[in-house]
Structure 1
Amino acid sequence: MMATVTLLYFASLRERVGRASETVSTAAVDLAGVYDEARARHGLDWPREHLRVAVDGEFARWRDAPVAGSEIAFIPPVSGG
């Protein structure tokens, strides 16, 4: 079953993708799979273990299922300075 979701990219991920968000259809069964699709599509090199994921503004678990119509944010570590 396909779910249409909006992906939000922050910091270095946004720079790599070249935009802050995109709407995609996914057949992934969990958020990890959604990220894996985005990695393949955009050549992202951040390992999932180094990122946080959030759904509709709340931190989520990689094993959570994507929900149609939701916003999924991929958040890399923020370096201070």
Structure 2
Amino acid sequence: MLPNQKLLDEIGGKISQVISNSPARDIEKNIRAMMQSALQKLDLVTREEFDVQQEVLLRTREKLTELETRLAQLEALAHAADHPQQLEP
């Protein structure tokens, strides 16, 4: 036979009350505080900041690719101007 829900709720409530008044609750608070302090020292960035920097990096890479292509074209033109005999068949 299954115990009724009211009995289970009462037992759960009593257990929660005992834990909240016990040293276990203080230990949990201390551990949370230590973890929060440790994470703050790591100097982590938020997901939003990471996404923004990722976008900036993507645009920078695209611009670099464009500039590399343009530089190659200008070098080819300069080489052709310096060596006109290689252009004629």
TM above 0.5: no
Q: Higher Cα Rg: structure 1 or 2?
A: 2
Which one has more relative contact order, counting CA pairs under 8 Å at least 6 apart?
A: 1
Larger helix percent: 2
Which TM-score bucket, shorter chain as reference?
A: under 0.3
TM-score, with normalisation over the residues of structure 1?
A: 0.17
Structure with the higher strand share, 1 or 2: 1
Normalising to structure 2: TM-score of the pair?
0.16
